[in-house]
Structure 1
Amino acid sequence: MILACDIGLKRIGLAIYLNQIILPLEPILRKNRNQASNELSQLLKNRQITTLIVGIPNSQSINAQETKKRIIFFISLLETQAKIVFIDEDLTSFEAQNNLTYLKKEKRQEAQKNGIIDSLAACKILERYLSNPKASLIMS
């Protein structure tokens, strides 16, 4: 089973590939990195995830490089036997927000706050992986 995640400072968006369908899951709301890594580790175990797809910025900007380091450190906290694959997440949150343009402004803001957009971004990350599984990023 495959799970994708969009790791942020406040929320971790999640999406699962189930019966050849990509489904968003309830995001993990981060209180701290230990709580979030424990919740994600438990989810990986409970769902018997064999592959974890992790969105990571591919940009060379200083902010992107700092985010990349933070994500790699967070992933190192996980207790899992799942194969970990890093995929370019650039613009996935923007694409996810564009999927919600039909909503009124207040509903879009609510989707941002409660993590729906983060899980939709995880869906985009999973789509990228499934469309080209060999496009994983090499981490140095």
Structure 2
Amino acid sequence: MRILGLDVGDKRIGIAISDPMGWTAQGIETLKRQSKEKDLARLVELIHTYEVDTIVCGLPRNMNGTYGPKAEETRRFGDKLQEHFQIPLIYWDERLTTVSAQKTLLQGDVSRAKRKEVVDKIAAVFILQNYLDARAKS
């Protein structure tokens, strides 16, 4: 079984998946948000295709650790996922993951247009990999 990592945004959802052993995270895609129904339908496909048993959803926090309006939106989305899929959903601190993803893409000399297409997917990889690393240490 695998773990699905999500970086949920207003316009896009970055999606990553763990390897079957739960050691590494790989980016799958950046889902351009259309509607809740279409977004959920695509996630259903991915969950079945990869035999996902857990979802890790990045939770935006302010730098001082507090939660703002984006965190509440993410929690509402996560609640819908849990209702729909009936599998465990874990929220994971996503502070600075998009910044790290941007830096990684800049270091790789990825064009601005291409960065916009993949930054959310790379952020989902960072979220999921951070979770996997923390789980391995415990």
Question: What range describes the TM-score normalised by the shorter chain of this pair?
Answer: 0.7 to 0.9
Deviating beyond 4 angstroms after TM superposition, the runs of 4 or more aligned structure 1 residues are none
Structure 1: give runs of 5+ residues left out of the alignment.
135-140
1 CA distance for matches of 2:103 and 2:63? 25
TM-score scaled to structure 1, two decimals? 0.81
| Contact kept in structure 2, 1:5 and 1:13, CA below 8 Å | yes
Count of aligned pairs: 129
Residue 4 (structure 2) aligns with: 3
TM-score scaled to structure 2, two decimals? 0.82
CA offset at residue 57 of structure 1? 1.3
1 CA distance for matches of 2:89 and 2:55? 5
Residue 91 (structure 1) aligns with: 96
Kindly provide the amino acid, as one letter, of the partner of residue 129 in structure 1: Y
| Contact kept in structure 1, 2:24 and 2:132, CA below 8 Å | no
Kindly provide the amino acid, as one letter, of the partner of residue 32 in structure 2: L
Residue 17 (structure 2) aligns with: 16
2 CA distance for matches of 1:87 and 1:30? 21
Residue 117 (structure 1) aligns with: 119
Residue 129 (structure 1) aligns with: 131
Kindly provide the amino acid, as one letter, of the partner of residue 85 in structure 1: I
Kindly provide the amino acid, as one letter, of the partner of residue 47 in structure 1: Y
Residue 77 (structure 1) aligns with: 80
CA offset at residue 42 of structure 1? 3.0
User: 1:54-94: per-residue Cα shift (whole Å, max 9, x none)?
Assistant: 00012278xx5111111111122222132111000011000
